[in-house]
Chains A and B, each alone.
Chain A
């Protein structure tokens, strides 16, 4: 006959084992728990007259859950990564804030933190290189130099100030609709560059959150 709270003893034991195995890869943990559950069930079926004492002896033989879990950790080829190591900490937060605003410091932290892989780090460093510093200092130069190419209009006037002829070169020589197109493209590029560091920061935040969630097995 089964002692009244025999099942309770076993499920308490398995509960303690389950918590002790926390931090191991999920498949490994389930496999061990499964096998030990079956092992206990088989051993119980061999007991003729299951007393509390018999059952406690049986569980003692199986071993202290902490000891089994220690053995599992020793056997696990996964590196032991305690959960705190994969929390988003001050380094990650600073990296996320500084990468768009103060690029050099942000990027250094980005490469130091384990939260990002090579692809993430390259994206963070190069989209755009320099962050907002680059945009505010160098963009006007590029816009003026690149999108409004050298050119202008020359006007020839007679002695009375009447326009005789007007000739334009370069950008100014283009038809009006093409000028408008160039300006629209310039504004579009400017807007894109202004939001790009924010998009990169959002992406990096998403990646860091994914990284920290990976150990929650």
Chain B
């Protein structure tokens, strides 16, 4: 598998949970999430693709939404974790810790070379 494809596959697997985790503390609107993700290297290649993701998570009831007035311009749609969303974050975190330990155990300290 070409290395670019590998990064895409890994990203696809985790981005949903990263977005959910960013909503743990407070509801956020799309542009805010994009800014947070922008500072994380390689998580979001095209900013627009977060909206299909949010739309799907809303359909699956992992998040719900609420319109709030913006300081200027049109109102913003804020995304908020639902109970199911909270559960998904907790489950992912548990899985991820185990998974990372397994992979690290196999690669040892030779990472990055």
Contacts and interface: CB of A to CB of B under 8 A. Distances in A.
Given A39-B48, A63-B45, A68-B48, A32 B55 contact: yes
A32 B58 CA distance: 12
Contact of A36 (B51, B56, B60, B72): B51
Q: Considering residues B49, B59, B72, which has the most beta carbons from chain A within 10 angstroms of its beta carbon?
A: B49
A77 B46 contact: no
The B interface, classified by DSSP as helix, strand, loop or mixed, is helix
Interface in B34-85: 34, 45-49, 51-56, 59-60, 70, 72-74, 76-77
Size class of the contact patch on chain B: 20 to 34
B27 interface: no
B16 to A, nearest CB: 9
B55 to A, nearest CB: 5
Contacts of B72: 45
Size class of the contact patch on chain A: 20 to 34
Contact of A62 (B48, B59, B70, B76): B48
The A interface, classified by DSSP as helix, strand, loop or mixed, is helix
B56 A77 contact: yes
Contacts, number: 74
A75 B56 contact: yes
Contacts of A35: 30, 51, 54-55, 77
B47 A75 contact: no
Contact of A68 (B46, B60, B73, B76): B46
A62 B50 CA distance: 9
A65 B48 CA distance: 8
A206 B80 CA distance: 44
B51 A68 contact: yes
Given A38-B76, A39-B30, A39-B34, A62 B52 contact: no
Contacts of B52: 32, 68, 71-72, 74-76
Nearest to B49: A71
Contacts of B70: 42
Q: Considering residues A28, A35, A74, which has the most beta carbons from chain B within 10 angstroms of its beta carbon?
A: A35
Interface of A: 17, 28, 31-32, 35-36, 38-39, 41-43, 45, 61-65, 67-68, 71-72, 74-77
Given A42-B70, A72-B55, 17 more contacts: A28-B59, A36-B51, A39-B34, A39-B47, A41-B74, A42-B73, A45-B72, A45-B73, A62-B48, A63-B46, A68-B49, A68-B52, A71-B48, A71-B49, A72-B51, A75-B56, A77-B60
